[in-house]
Amino acid sequence: MFVIFGAAGNVGKVSAAALRRAGCNVRAVVRDKQQGAFLAGLGCEIVVADLLDAATVARAIEGAHAVQLLCPLPNGHADPAQPMRRMIDVSVAALRADPPPRIVALSDYGAEHAAGTGITTLFHELETQLRTVDSQLTFLRAAEHMHNWARVLPVALASGALPSLHHPLSKRFPTVAAQDVGVLAAELLLDNGAQPVSPRVVSIESDERVSALDVARTIGELAGRAVVAREVPRGEWAALLQGAGLGEHHARLITDLYDAHNAGRIDVEADISERRFGATALGEVFAALLPRAAAVAAAAPAAGTAR
């Protein structure tokens, strides 16, 4: 049995579908039954679990041959680091008590750093705790997800300006499509070859790095209008993020992350990672996101959060 946490998400549903195509039994772990409709149609067993509830996590992993673990940042929480740390504690305790032969944990570029990387520090904590589980571990560290730009697409479409926390605008950074992460995660779960090193660290990014200028140009080409990238001054980050509805603690996680990004700390860990590259281009992802973003822009032109 292959157990996929976050199976209704952009990565999880791709992993689940790939495993089902390979003829595997898949247990899709979701937050509520409604999220499981698509996955049930693929032939997945649907299990509702709460990563803050030890009993439901334990039931979800029972009898698992392999587990794909995702501990998501709870975006609606005033201080999202607190519940995410609790999710890590609960899920690792369950895995330690009933360890499956193989675990693939979804992590981030920069997770090797113990401090100073904002949100990514939480993935360092996840990796550190998972090292105590008696399983073959793989940390799948992904670059910044292209889908994250969906939050500012309405702003770019409405105003013709793309706010960016990536400085300078010409700096090229690694990014990746969620579907490429999902496919690779499934491949790693299915990999029955010898794994002499645990944890195994695998990185994935697109085969071409991009800049904020490239992102703005891609949006403009798809939308048929001029879109320019705008570098948000560092002193305005916190106010911008809090004005978009984020709490002070959440905003700090993001500002710390982009300080680390702009300092070059969010990248492949040299000489450690097995490097993989996704084939999905930025334009393919944005083309799928654009219709909804256009509708949001028409309804609320000022909505959005900088990247």
Q: Output the pLDDT for position 125.
A: 98
CA distances (Å), origin 102, targets 65, 135, 143? 7, 5, 23
Query: In this structure, is residue 241 part of a structural domain?
Result: no
CA distance between the termini of the chain: 38
Structural domain contains residue 238: no
What is the per-residue pLDDT across 20-78, written as a single tens digit (0 to 9) for each? 999 999 999 999 888 889 999 999 999 999 999 999 999 999 999 999 999 999 988 88
Report yes or no on 75 lying in a domain: yes
117: CATH = 3.40.50.720
Q: What pLDDT score was predicted for residue 273?
A: 73
Task: Please check whether residue 209 is in contact with residue 172, taking contact to mean a CB–CB distance below 8 angstroms.
Answer: yes
Q: For residue 90, give its domain range.
A: 2-145+175-205
Note whether residue 167 is domain-resident: no
The torsion region of residue 165 among left (phi > 0), alpha (psi -120 to 50) and beta comes to alpha
CB 87 within 8 A of CB 51: yes
| 220 is a domain residue | no
User: What is the domain count for the chain?
Assistant: 1
Residue 59 resides in a domain: yes
114 lies in some domain: yes
Predicted model pTM: 0.94
In a domain, 245, yes or no: no
Instruction: Spell out, as residue ranges, where the chain has pLDDT lower than 50.
Output: 301-304
